[in-house]
A and B are shown apart, each in its own frame.
Chain A
Amino acid sequence: MRQEDGLWHRLDLVARSISPFFVTLLLVLLGLLPLRIADLSPIVPALALIGVFFWSVHRPDLMPVWAVFVIGFLQDLLTGSVLGPGIVGLLIAHALVVWQHRFFLAASFAVIWVAFMLVAAAALGAIWLLNCIALLAYVDPAPLFFQYLVTMAFYPCLAWAFLRGQRLFHR
């Protein structure tokens, strides 16, 4: 009986520690779904960026840098875009958060949202620049700008859901 408890406890711990990684992978898949809404396709929110940012802020121990790399790698493969820029974008977001880690410890929800605006701008800017270099062409940044705005709008909804989930987990 006691051993079983131990096993379940351990499984529970494992599930908790890998959930940020898998939830972010799930967000990558969610971004791939065809929503059949006119003109939405070019400006779908960068959901994986939200996931990586959120857990880099709140549980950096559960979102290590290699996990960010793997998420970026799979995202670039699945979206069919050039391999590399998406990884660099997510790594930049992660690095900025880790760099200012102390700032985020005391920050309120609204402040973190504002910080996300800056981090996402840097990440998407880097992605745009690297894509232009890789494609050897000037890619119209307008859809990317709208994608940025949509991502901003999505952040509070997703972050709220993640926080609720985290509280359930850590009761």
Chain B
Amino acid sequence: MIKPTGSEIRVASPLKAWASRFALLLLIGAAFGLMLIGRTNTLLVEDTRTAVTDMVTPILNAVSQPVDTFSGIIDQAESFTRLSAENQALKEQNARLLQWQAVARRLEAENAALRGLNNMVPDPAMSYVTARVVGDPGGAFVRTVLINAGERNGVEKGQAAITGDGLAGRVAEVGLRSARVLLLTDINSRVPVVVGAARDRAVLAGDNTNAPELLYLGPTAKVQAGDYVTTSGHGGVFPPGLPIGVVSAVSEKGVRVKPFVDWAHMEVLRIVDYEMTGILDFEAQVGAARAAAVAGNPQ
């Protein structure tokens, strides 16, 4: 198609061919070396990775915005076609949710009263950092996304990433202005959870499919399809009670969970800052709560 140029003919000379073969072998060897380094010195690889990701994130941030706008327009056009049906469904849902709101208010008040009676240690306060999803590498081997917030926005390694629907994953790597979130479905993801009304403990393990698996369920645990799965808070990194999904299949091969998060429309993630804010703050809160409790019951 394209005529051989002078340089191509020169490459054909035996010496050059030998040298290029040597270079190829050397570089393949280097790639295997990098694989080994990745397993033994993960910190070095992680630092390099976050440095490169930090450089690229501003570009991704700029380019992904029109993509978002475009997909937003498509979504909008789609929703126009079923506007009246959706309206009807939303009205019904609204009526149902208003009932639930009344129930939740009553339970919240009751809960607060009971906590006060028992002098219960309050949960540490949560704060949020909201970030846009700017990168989704895809592929068969990883389930991660890149967000446009990092160290300077207060994002830290290990924090939970949630959407309005539920838990999406946890922060795995943090750069200065970007971070990588390891999704629940990734093969390296492990999240301590509780299942169903009996609150059986288990670990939710991803395997790169859309339905992660429940591991280490106790022998007495009775899990059925439709049971709710929430974070347990064990390990102290994730706040307890974050919704994750429902059990979708129970079989000999294992228990599968369908997460609530809509992976295709995950445009914004909230990073939950919990517990890791520092033990000093936490103790101050406990002290304040105790003082308030004592002041409330002067006996």
B286: CB under 8 A from chain A? no
Please determine whether B53 and A84 come into contact, CB atoms closer than 8 angstroms: no
Q: Which residues of A contact B1 (CB under 8 A)?
A: 58, 107-109
Q: Which residues of B contact A109 (CB under 8 A)?
A: 1
Of the residues B32, B37, B48, B266, contact of A88 by C-beta under 8 Å: B32
A74-B31 Cα distance, complex, nearest whole Å: 12
A144-B139 Cα distance, complex, nearest whole Å: 7
Binary contact track A59-70/B, C-beta < 8 Å → 1, others 0: 111000110110
A130-B208 Cα distance, complex, nearest whole Å: 16
Given A41-B138, A77-B49, also A105-B38 (CB < 8 A):
no
A91-B26 Cα distance, complex, nearest whole Å: 11
Of the residues A44, A69, A88, A95, contact of B138 by C-beta under 8 Å: A44
Of the residues B2, B7, B56, B188, contact of A78 by C-beta under 8 Å: B56
Q: Which residues of B contact A42 (CB under 8 A)?
A: 138-140, 208
**What band does the interface of chain A fall in when counting residues whose beta carbon is under 8 Å from B?**
35 or more
Interface of A is mostly: helix
A2: CB under 8 A from chain B? no
Q: Which residues of B contact A34 (CB under 8 A)?
A: 64, 67, 133-136, 145, 266-267
A98-B136 Cα distance, complex, nearest whole Å: 32
Q: Which residues of B contact A141 (CB under 8 A)?
A: 140
B27: CB under 8 A from chain A? yes
Would you give the shortest CB distance from A165 to chain B, in whole angstroms?
A: 13
Query: Which residues of B, 252-280, contact A by the 8 Å Cβ criterion?
Result: 263-267
Please determine whether A33 and B136 come into contact, CB atoms closer than 8 angstroms: yes
Given A29-B59, A65-B23, A69-B31, also A134-B138 (CB < 8 A):
no
Binary contact track A70-89/B, C-beta < 8 Å → 1, others 0: 00111001111111110110
A128: CB under 8 A from chain B? yes
Please determine whether A91 and B28 come into contact, CB atoms closer than 8 angstroms: yes
B39: CB under 8 A from chain A? yes
Please determine whether A81 and B264 come into contact, CB atoms closer than 8 angstroms: no
Please determine whether A33 and B63 come into contact, CB atoms closer than 8 angstroms: yes
A29-B134 Cα distance, complex, nearest whole Å: 11
Q: Which of B38, B52, B138, B144 has the most CB of A within 10 A?
A: B138
What count of chain B residues pass the 8 Å CB interface test?
59
A32: CB under 8 A from chain B? yes
Given A58-B2, A61-B8, A66-B27, also A79-B137 (CB < 8 A):
yes
Would you give the shortest CB distance from B199 to chain A, in whole angstroms?
A: 30
A69-B29 Cα distance, complex, nearest whole Å: 11
Please determine whether B135 and A44 come into contact, CB atoms closer than 8 angstroms: no
A165-B113 Cα distance, complex, nearest whole Å: 72
Q: Which residues from chain A sit less than 8 Å from chain B, CB to CB?
A: 29, 31-44, 58-61, 65-66, 68-69, 72-74, 77-85, 87-88, 91, 94-95, 98, 101, 105, 107-109, 128, 130-131, 134-135, 137, 139-141, 143-144, 147, 166
10 tightest A-B CB contacts, nearest first: A84-B35, A79-B137, A44-B138, A34-B136, A38-B264, A87-B31, A144-B140, A143-B140, A36-B71, A41-B138
A-B contact pairs, 10 of them (CB 8 A): A34-B134, A41-B138, A42-B208, A44-B137, A61-B8, A78-B137, A80-B49, A82-B141, A83-B45, A139-B208
